Copies of this chain bind each other. A is one copy, B any other.
Amino acid sequence: MVVSGIKDSLKQQGVRLTRQRKILLDLIDQSGQHLDAERLFTLAREKDPKLNRVTVYRTLKLLKAGGLVDELDLMHHDGDQHYYETRLKQEHAHVICLRCGKIEEFFGDLLKKMRQQIETHFGFEIVLSRTEVGGYCSHCQALRAKELTDAPMVEPSATTGRARHPRSQ
């Protein structure tokens, strides 16, 4: 469980561990998913209905600044929001299916090697990095071929509806 380490890390910086932050930290760490602010807010509200959206943003900012979570864009496959994950595992790329939204994580020594090459080549000090890959998963490749065959003359519109999570209230 990484969250306890995060809590220690925060305490040592004189950051107060409030009830709200405990809730958010636990959620980020336990979910195992890539949560955006809104999703995190919804989940947090189930535990504390008074918790404000702003607190979610402020906590995420804090964690990001402290290098405790990483911010992802996931190719903006579902809007322009950011996603977050605890910085625990070894470096990895995110592979996003642009059709179904499924996210795979790709580990490998290539990322590590590239990091080293960049640091050496530019004399650069890397603080954070991310690799995101968009395309079609094996499942959706077949479905897409079918879709294109069914309507061969019609370009799939860029404005095709995407299921978004509306803000309640």
A-to-B contact residues, CB < 8 Å? 61, 65, 71, 73, 75-76, 80, 93, 95, 97-98, 104, 106, 108, 110-111, 113-115, 117-118, 121-138, 141, 158
A21, chain B: closest CB distance, angstroms? 16
A129/B131 in contact, CB under 8 A: yes
Cβ 8 A contact of A136, one of B93, B95, B124, B132: B124
For A113, list chain B residues within 8 Å (CB): 110
Asked if A106 meets B133 with Cβ closer than 8 Å, knowing A61-B158, A98-B127, the reply is no
Tell me the complex Cα distance, A158–B73, Å: 20
- Dominant SS among interface residues on chain A: mixed
A106 near B131 (CB under 8 angstroms)? no
A62 to chain B, nearest CB (A): 8
**Inter-chain contact A110/B104, CB cutoff 8 Å:** no
In the complex, 19 of the A-B residue pairs with CB atoms within 8 angstroms, ordered by the A residue number, are: A93-B114, A95-B124, A104-B122, A108-B114, A108-B117, A110-B110, A110-B114, A110-B117, A114-B131, A123-B138, A124-B133, A124-B135, A124-B136, A125-B135, A126-B134, A126-B135, A129-B135, A131-B131, A131-B132
